[in-house]
Every structure is written in C-alpha cells, then in structure tokens.
C-alpha cells in the first residue's frame, strides 16, 4: 500500500485497538498504547511514529513505519484476530443526505422500471447507517522480474464490488468516531465478514491474474531475445558437431555422437529452464479491511400494479449521489427491471416468461 495508506491504516488501527493517538504535524504521530496492546504488538507503550523518510531524518527519535515494518504486520495480525478490521465514519451533515420527493422520484424513474405498473408514488424516507468495505490484498508476482503490489477492493455490505466508488470514497473526510449527528440513526447489518472477504478475494484473484498477464507481456520481449540467442547457439554447436561427424573416422565417431546427444539434451533442458523462469506466479494475501460507515436514505415508494398498491424500498447513497438498485426478490442480485410476482419484486434475471 502507498505510504499515505499505511499511515491511515496504522493510525486508525492503533486508535481502534485502544491507543491514544496525537498528530504532531505532517506525518508525525505520538501514540500511547495500553500495556496489553503494547506487549501483544511487541512495541513500547510510548511510540513516536513517522511515515515519511524525510521527517524521519529530522526526528531521529521517531520510528519510520513503511511497508513491511514489523509494526504494520503486528497491527494487521491484531486486526485480523479481531475479525472486524476498523471503522471510519463519513462526517456528512444531515442536510447533504436529504432528498425531496420530486428528486427521489426522478432518480427512481431514471434507474428502475416496473412492468405492468403505473408511475411510482413517493411515500416516505428514513436515514440509516450502512457500511461499505475497503479490503486490501498484497499480491506477489514472481517471474523473471519480481513485483509486489496492492489490490484494493471496494465493496458494499452485501458483497457487490463498487468499481467506480473507490476514488470518490477515498476523497471523503472520514473520522474515527461516530459523528454526533448520526448517533441515533439505526445501523443496517452487513453480511458476515467471512463471506464478504471470500467474495473480495475472488475479485482480487481475478485482478491479479490479468495483472500477471500484463507483467508477462512486458517480459515477453526479453524472453524472446534470450530464447532466440539460445536457439542460435545450439544450432551452431549441433551443426559443427554434425560436420565433424561426417568427416570423422571410426575411432572418433562414438565420442562425437555422444557429444551430439549431450548437446541436444543440454539445449532442451536450458530451454525448459528459460520457460520456467519466465512463467508468472502470483500469490494473493489479505492485508487489511476497513469499514466505511456512511448515512443512506431509505426511500419508500408505492407502485400501483392493476388494483394493488405495492411497496418498494430503494437506498440513496449521498456520497455517490446515486440510488442503489433494488435487489431481485429471488436471487438477491441488483435488478433494474422489476415485475411483481406473487409477493415480491423479481428482476428480469429470474423471470422465465418474458
Ligand atoms: Zn434474480
């Protein structure tokens, strides 16, 4: 992870674990750790930390914490053992989250359609707190070159990958404590963390595989030239041996034959080694998990279909200023084209009859 992310992680993880953290300026932080935490992490209870090498040079009493530092590993381990990661809260004002009935209806009409129904009517709205996740994976690619990188997966609380939301979320001012204006707002329950992690890992593995292809592509030129050189060398060697064999007398023919076979075997072995050296392996390991908690507006509408008044709830996300599409009543996937079947809204995904 980039150093600024390490800083965010370390400071937040220390606070979440019960440390008192005080910023002394740019990339310089004092932390007072409870004794059990300090001994669990194997560090002193009083820490002065920096995440910047220049700041470290000016403050020789500060510990420079970078990628791979034992403190980062110990904090990751601690965070893992808590099975939750840590939480950040969006410090939004209630006004930013409000949405009038007209705007709510126009967003709904733009993103969801209802079959055999009259235009929806706005009923009510309620504020909730919902969690999204930022899950970091460390990926090691091993080939002729060795590369390490981070893959960060943004995901909602039900495991849907938020492809566009990441940069937008990263820009928000997040705080470590629940802002007072949201203290009485009810929480929505996320899916179990193990399930979310498993989904994030599948996504990260997919990303890593395509990255591995890209890394191999850049090594490919070097591979081709090494292989061509090797092939040319053995071609010449074998040709020379063949010429000698043609001119050799009986006494030398066996020796030359042996050398020819050995050169052939040598060539095959070295070409196989070269292939192996340029094969890309990758290994994905989980690094951190951050819950990003922010308000949502639960919008309730009524849709009239034939003679029935049917309810539909949709969540509005003030951070992205978008509606989260409702979920199909059968498979649970986001659905934008809904039909009422018996007692639920079903998406086009699960409708056999068109
Ligand atoms: Zn479905």
Concatenating the DSSP letter of every residue in 189-208 gives: PPPPHHHHHHHHHHHHHHHH
Centroid of chain to Cα 256:
59
Does residue 250 belong to any structural domain of this protein? yes
Distance 348 CA to ligand 1 centre (A): 7
With CA atoms as reference, report the closest residue to 43 among 3, 14, 9, 16.
14
**CA dihedral in degrees (223, 224, 229, 230; nearest 10)?**
60
Longest CA pairwise span in the chain (Å): 105
Q: Calculate how far, in angstroms, residue 325's C-alpha sits from the geometric centre of ligand 1.
A: 12
Distance CA 10, CA 18 (A): 12
CA 103/CA 287 separation, integer angstroms? 40
149 near 139, Cβ under 8 Å?
Answer: yes
Residue 46 lies in a domain: yes
Q: Which of 283, 307, 323 is the last residue of a domain?
A: 283
pLDDT band with cut points at 50, 70 and 90 for residue 73: confident
In a domain, 254, yes or no: yes
CB 63 within 8 A of CB 48: yes
Which band of pLDDT confidence, cut at 50, 70 and 90, is reported for residue 32?
A: very high
| pLDDT average, residue stretch 185-212 | 91
Q: What interhelical angle do 3-16 and 70-82 show, nearest 10? A: 50
pLDDT cut 70: percent of the chain above it: 97
Q: How far is the CA of 128 from the centre of ligand 1 (A)?
A: 25
**What is the C-alpha separation between 177 and 171, in angstroms, rounded?**
18
Å from CA of 309 to ligand 1 middle: 22
Which pLDDT does position 166 carry in this prediction? Answer: 76
Query: Domain range spanning residue 71?
Result: 1-82
Residue 40 domain-assigned? yes
- Is residue 330, in this structure, part of any structural domain at all? no
How many C-beta neighbours within 10 Å does residue 223 have? Answer: 17
pLDDT tens digits for range 269-326: 999 999 888 888 889 988 888 889 999 999 999 999 888 899 999 999 998 888 988 8
61 in any annotated domain: yes
Output the domain CATH number for residue 15: 3.30.360.80
Q: Is residue 246 part of a domain?
A: yes
* Domain end position, chosen among 252, 283, 314: 283
Ligand 1 centre distance from Cα of residue 337 (Å)? 10
**Range among 155-164, 224-233, 243-252 with highest mean pLDDT value:** 224-233
CA of 331 to the centre of ligand 1 (A): 4
- What is the three-class DSSP state of 354? coil
CA distance 270 to 261: 14
For residue range 82-137, list pLDDT tens digits in order.
655 677 888 888 888 889 999 999 999 999 999 989 999 999 999 999 999 999 88
What total of structural domains would you count in the chain? 2
Cα(205) to ligand 1 centroid in Å equals 25
pLDDT attached to residue 2: 46
**DSSP assignments along 276-334, one per residue:** HHT--EEEEEEEEEEEEEEEEEEEEEEEEETTEEEEEEEEEETTTTEEEPPBPTTT-SB
3-state secondary structure of 106: helix
Note whether residue 15 is domain-resident.
yes
Query: Which of 236, 265, 283 is the endpoint of a domain?
Result: 283
Residues 63-72, mean pLDDT to the nearest whole number: 85
Residues near ion ligand 1 (Cβ under 5 Å): 328, 330-331, 347, 349-350
């Amino acid at each position: 992870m980039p150093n600024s992310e390490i800083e965010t992680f370390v400071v937040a993880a220390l606070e979440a674990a019960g440390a008192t953290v005080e910023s002394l300026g740019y990339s310089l932080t004092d932390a007072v750790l409870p004794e059990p935490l300090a001994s669990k992490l194997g560090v002193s209870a009083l820490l002065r930390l920096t995440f910047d090498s220049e700041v470290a040079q000016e403050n020789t009493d500060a510990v420079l914490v970078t990628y791979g530092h034992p403190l980062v590993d110990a904090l990751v381990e601690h965070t893992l053992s808590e099975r939750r990661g840590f939480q950040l809260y969006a410090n939004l004002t209630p006004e930013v989250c409000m949405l009038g009935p007209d705007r709510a209806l126009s967003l709904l009409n733009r993103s969801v359609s209802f079959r055999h129904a009259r235009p929806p009517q706005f009923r009510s709205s309620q504020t909730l707190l919902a969690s999204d996740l930022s899950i970091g994976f460390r990926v090691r690619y091993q080939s002729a070159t060795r590369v390490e990188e981070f893959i960060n997966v943004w995901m909602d609380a039900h495991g849907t990958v938020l492809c566009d939301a990441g940069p937008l979320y990263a820009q928000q001012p997040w705080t470590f404590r629940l802002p007072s204006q949201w203290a009485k707002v009810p929480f929505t329950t996320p899916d179990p963390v193990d399930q979310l992690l498993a989904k994030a890992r599948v996504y990260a593995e997919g990303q890593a595989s395509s990255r591995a292809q890209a890394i191999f592509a850049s090594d490919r030129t070097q591979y081709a030239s090494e292989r061509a050189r090797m092939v040319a060398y053995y071609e010449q060697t074998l040709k020379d041996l063949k010429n000698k064999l043609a001119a050799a007398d009986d006494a030398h023919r066996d020796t030359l034959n042996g050398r020819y076979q050995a050169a052939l075997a040598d060539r095959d072995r070295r070409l196989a080694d070269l292939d192996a050296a340029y094969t890309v392996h990758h290994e994905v390991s989980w690094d951190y998990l951050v819950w990003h908690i922010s308000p949502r507006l639960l919008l309730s509408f009524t849709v009239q279909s034939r003679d029935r008044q049917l309810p539909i709830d949709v969540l509005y996300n003030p951070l992205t200023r978008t509606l989260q599409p409702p979920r199909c009543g059968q498979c649970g996937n986001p659905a934008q084209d809904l039909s009422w079947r018996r007692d639920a809204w079903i998406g086009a995904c699960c409708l056999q009859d068109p």
